[in-house]
Amino acid sequence: MQIEIHYKNNSNIAEVISEDLLIKEIQDGLDLLVNIYYQDIDRIVIYEKNIVPDFFDLKTGMAGEILQKFSNYRVKLAIVGEFSKYPGKSIQDFIFESNKIGLVNFVASLSEALDKLSK
């Protein structure tokens, strides 16, 4: 895993880069959050390919528990990926509402993620 720091609009944004599955269970998400947060960074970009598909099945509770911690720490998150492959109404509604609020963003590209997180 590599962390690249982007600086945009006076914000430090950590981009997590890896070819591996990084979030396989809830604790992995919390570990990632804490490791980056303690580097004094409160904005994170991660890629959908690095997150286990169960995260996107809201019935597992995984997304809710991990994203609640991000909310508690006031850490903004952007997940970059192709989300149309998750056709369920509940996940699509969740993505829509998350993007509207802006603390957690589901986006299609790194540039979109950096734009959202630097506001």
Distance separating alpha carbons of residues 77 and 102, to the nearest angstrom = 9
Domains annotated for the chain, with CATH where assigned, are 2-117 (3.30.750)
Q: What is the pLDDT along the chain (119 residues), one digit of tens a residue?
A: 999 999 999 999 999 999 999 999 999 999 999 999 999 999 999 999 999 999 999 999 999 999 999 999 999 999 999 999 998 899 999 999 999 999 999 999 999 999 999 99
Q: Provide the sign of the torsion angle of the four alpha carbons 86, 26, 63, 20, taken in this order.
A: negative
Give me the pLDDT at residue 95, please: 96
Strands (E) in 81-118, as ranges, are 104-107
